[in-house]
Structure 1
Amino acid sequence: MKIAIVGAGLIGHTIAHLLRETGDYEVVAFDRDADALAKLANEGIATQRVDSADAAAIREAVKGFDALVNALPYYLAVNVAAAAKAAGVHYFDLTEDVRATSAIRELAEGSNRAFMPQCGLAPGFIGIAAHELVNGFTEVRDVKMRVGALPEYPTNALKYNLTWSVDGLINEYCQPCEAVRDGRRQWVQPLEGLEHFSLDGIEYEAFNTSGGLGTLCETLEGKVETLDYKSVRYPGHRELIQFLLEDLRLATDRDTLKSIMRRAVPSTKQDVVLVFVTVTGVKHGQLVQDVFTRKIFAKEICGMPMSAIQITTAGAMCAVLDLFREKKLPQAASCARSRCRCMRSSRTASASCTRAARSSGCTRSRDARRARRASCRSPGVRAFARRPRRGCRAARSAAPKKRRDGRGAAPAFRRGRGAMR
């Protein structure tokens, strides 16, 4: 399968290596950044320079490919999707922007190619994990999805380091957030809904951010009482972000805020991704709560250090491509909207992680890759492949036996002084 990766930044770079190392894909990376392309070329990835903001140039560049993977910032998503449609190639992206996703869905109408936005960690994998937990209940009350990409060693006042797109980070703090309340879809404000919880002895806070749900609200509307998504941070982060966005009015001057963050907030590859889902409802006549929680750390893969957000986001995209190549996902736009339902079981989610797991072996030989598969899987991929604790068949634990973060009990939420059940 011939893949055009448009965007040679952090995640695009990782996707290129994970796909190339399997031997199942022919990969070419496109970008306008000559330095980023040179780095990939030196690492053995085919590259081609193209203006990422020029839809016509992208259209001509990707003709003859099977699929286009968009790893560019959210504000370029619609243009790139239009280029993919004009070129007659399948389209996949990582965007969390709700408006861009809506526009891409409209753009895809009538196409004989698949258009699958939101194929990363959140939105993406988090929805699969939540949907699988929901399937084990006869009646669902609450679905709570929490994801955080955090520094392992926070030192500044924000208790945060840059681990992914600054544009995407600011956008999720500023845009309205979709949720389900009383069984109906609603819009809620970003940065609201503050709550605190602890996991493995570490305190966290969580609050509304935009885009992490994907299409899950649409899928579960009328089937759950409450469903929401919140970003996880260390305590105190939300208060300072609210000061910047609201008190200093930087929500209406994103360029200034982006400049401040890039100048003052360092990046890091020593990060941890926290994935935490709880579902409360009725099962076998009893009120129960099921929990899915993982911590994924940075690791060396393919002979190079990769951050946790690289592993989880790029790994999720590669898993989707693997399922699509094997025709386990819809092959045309008319049914591509059903991808969450097609991938809803933990069995499928586990299978979807095979691609990134194989990639982590970093060997070109398929026979050698098969032999090394069990020993070469990355913690992040193995964490994804592991099934939820309850609500499905028991499966062999894929997480390392001795976890770096300990084995704490399921976290207890609290909002203010009241317990959140």
Structure 2
Amino acid sequence: MKIAVIGTGYVGLVTGTCFAETGNVVTCVDIDKLKVSKLSNGQITIYEPGLEKIFLRNLKENRLNFTSDLKDAICDAQIIFLALPTPPDADGSADLKYVLGVAETIGKLLTSYKIIINKSTVPVGTAEKVRKAIELNYDGDFDVISNPEFLREGVAVEDFMKPDRVVIGTKSVKAIDVMNQLYAPFVRQGNPVIFMDEKSAELTKYAANSFLATKISFMNEISQLCERLGADVDSVRKGIGSDDRIGKRFLFPGIGYGGSCFPKDVQALIKSASEVEYDFEILKSVEKVNAIQKRHLVSKILKYYKRGLRDLHFALWGIAFKPNTDDIRDAPALSIINELCELGATITAYDPEAMPNAKILLGDKIGFANNQYEALKDADALIVATEWSEFRTPDFNRIIDSLKDKVIFDGRNLYNSSTLKQHDIEYFSIGRD
């Protein structure tokens, strides 16, 4: 099939590349001409494990192309994916100006039947708004459907190529037939393609992310209880995670969730609920708990350094909101950095992939190291904010030799308390103190 993907951000680039990998001819569109030039010349613009290899392969085979010309991209395409940003407005609602603006332009360019697919995370009712935007300029035959993505940063290629499920919102028989053909190579093992109406598909995406955010916040509250009651959160996590009604995933306590999806999707669902006069109290609590949890590690640091943090210097390992990504949007590490700096501390940070983005955002607010051990130089203590694999088994002797106070504040529970005691390192983690 010939496919156009509008938007070359995280979702758009993964979507376009993975569809090309199964033999489709894909043209990705972006208004950023410099970005288009980089991608056309083989320079990938995001970090995602496994993506670069298939990106370069399909670029070489001319199955993956990039352009700034929307008309050229959609001219021969049977399917048009909208993978555009939907940033939160001040009131928490999703801003649809990019989606609807492109939809109106598409209406001016259509000359034959196309399927326009919302891949972006959008509020319930957006498919209908896109349809109306296209109809402002085109009265021919077309379908607008919802096909939300369920990609986890760090394993997005695997998630796309071997999805747990594919959700498609449409009642069009013609669109259903095309979408079944499109996704057939991805569900050969029998995982379901679930068809439903557009509004249900749109809500499914928000419901999924909000439920996962709820699991995280619930476990973070359990960790707070563990610290106060003397229980061990790892034991509790294993005890409840073995119940298949609950499951093992998203039960690890830490310093709160971040990233491009959970924060804005929770906000957007709360806003959508309020627009139909429903008070989504659980999700409001999820947001509140997450905000508190982001401060929790700083509270431990302040409790340890009773004299205050002015003139103290910290090493910080990890800036990305999770491992295996360079994404720092709403990363808990940023909250820690900002609060420590406000309290008079200085920081040198290291992250395997996120430092270029962090340097753009933070400038000279903090220092940056070339590796994790260089970050320890002249530091009073170490803070672990992201659970990168290379941080899991460090050289504790090098840490001891570098830190002035021989103390680690671990926001991801990477280490065993008894191991740290053997090295005479004071250790503060989440839900295990």
TM-score strictly above 0.5: no
User: If each structure's strand is expressed as a fraction of its own residues, which one has the higher value?
Assistant: 1
Q: TM-score, normalised by structure 1?
A: 0.35
Larger helix share, 1 or 2: 2
Of the two, which has the highest radius of gyration? 2
Tell me the TM-score normalised to structure 2 length: 0.34
